[in-house]
Structure 1
């Protein structure tokens, strides 16, 4: 059993390395098996489907992203400031781990439910991140005593997340840099953190209202 667990972890390790260095297109079963030094049929002994192996790889990404968010969280800060810190961490992770970031949210490629009996399903890694976002949005609304909102905190959080995720993807593809430079050269400077910080503030203002309002 210990040997099987070790081999399973080795396959995941290889997958994590591949997606980090070469992107999602590199995550074929045969290539993972080859780099792990096992037969091309060996992964099937530990992962019944390709999607199951991809899910195990993605789970590592959620664990790291969750650790980063936890490390930057300040329980004494306001909900909005905590959302801002979360957003910056999210965008930084997307920039530094582009392949993993793209895999983690491809639930059309992942198996959120099925998993070996001793491994939690991927949904148990995915949903807490969103639940944390919903909690912060709800706390922000309560702090502002926002009443009569047209949307629930979950819908607002989903829209905020979609905006933030779109920002991460368009930045990775170079699209935002292109349009910002064309619209206002002063916005797109040498330091990529500056326009990204301004985009984070714009995303928060769009979904939470202007700061201090």
Structure 2
């Protein structure tokens, strides 16, 4: 194996470990030493590849957000019927939330602190196309007539609220991780029945 390949493998390992520590375990304040220990590498390697803990955090977060956006685009610009697009998006969101339960919380926190997420223009374009599809479905009678933006808000709220509020809801309602995961897995059918008339 070449030195370059080894470098890429080490960098990837550090990123994957950081994702696990930050967004799966919710340890946003983890030190570079803690990340290095979890990855089984020397702490100086984190500084070598990423210069600082904050740069690593920033890079890992941007990559996670980019992957999420690309996945959304792939679903919404696919040839699937509208209802199947919504169902597929729910599958992906709940799968992601089980893998990284603290990612959405962090995204909300960042936006509240004035951080502008990249791909803003692409998101605006995607939403315009999404609204057109929603309006077409309303004309077909598969969903209730309302402003397309209201349908989008209903969809996002029903899906995202239990994910972004997970720590508080899980603690308040007294659920274990497994019990809450089961609740989330049951939500897809409930959301689909709420959003669609048929």
TM-score (norm 2): 0.59
| Partner of residue 43, structure 2 | 39
Which residue in the other structure is 1:161 paired with?
156
Choose between structure 1 and 2: higher helix proportion: 2
For 2:42 and 2:26, the matched residues in 1 are separated by 22
Whether the aligned pair in 1 keeps the contact of 2:11 and 2:49 (CA below 8 Å) is yes
By how many angstroms is 1:91 displaced?
A: 2.4
Find the counterpart in structure 2 of residue 75 from structure 1. Answer: 79
Give 3-state SS (helix, strand or coil) of 1:23's partner: coil
Measure how far apart 1:75 and its partner are: 1.5
Residues 80-118 of structure 1, C-alpha deviation per residue, up to 9 Å, x if partnerless? 4312331232123213321344345542599967xxxxx
Shift of 1:54: 1.5
Residue number among 119, 133, 138 corresponding to 1:144 in the alignment: 138
Corresponding residue of 1:119: none
TM-score (structure 1 length as normaliser): 0.56
The reply to whether residue 87 of structure 1 matches residue 90 of structure 2 is yes
- Matching of residues 12-23 of structure 1 within 5 Å: 12-19=15-22, 21-23=24-26
Q: 1:11 aligns with which of 10, 14, 18?
A: 14
- Mark the runs of 5 or more structure 1 residues left unpaired by the alignment: 114-121, 180-187, 205-209
Contact 1:20 1:100 in 2 (8 A): yes
Counting only pairs closer than 5 Å after superposition, residues 54-73 of structure 1 correspond to structure 2 as 54-62=57-65, 65=68, 70=74
Q: Deviations over 1:160-199 (max 9, x none)?
A: 42442113234564459949xxxxxxxx9xx643344214
The 1:16–1:141 alpha-carbon spacing in structure 2 relative to 1, beyond 3 Å, is same
C-alpha displacement of 1:134: 4.9
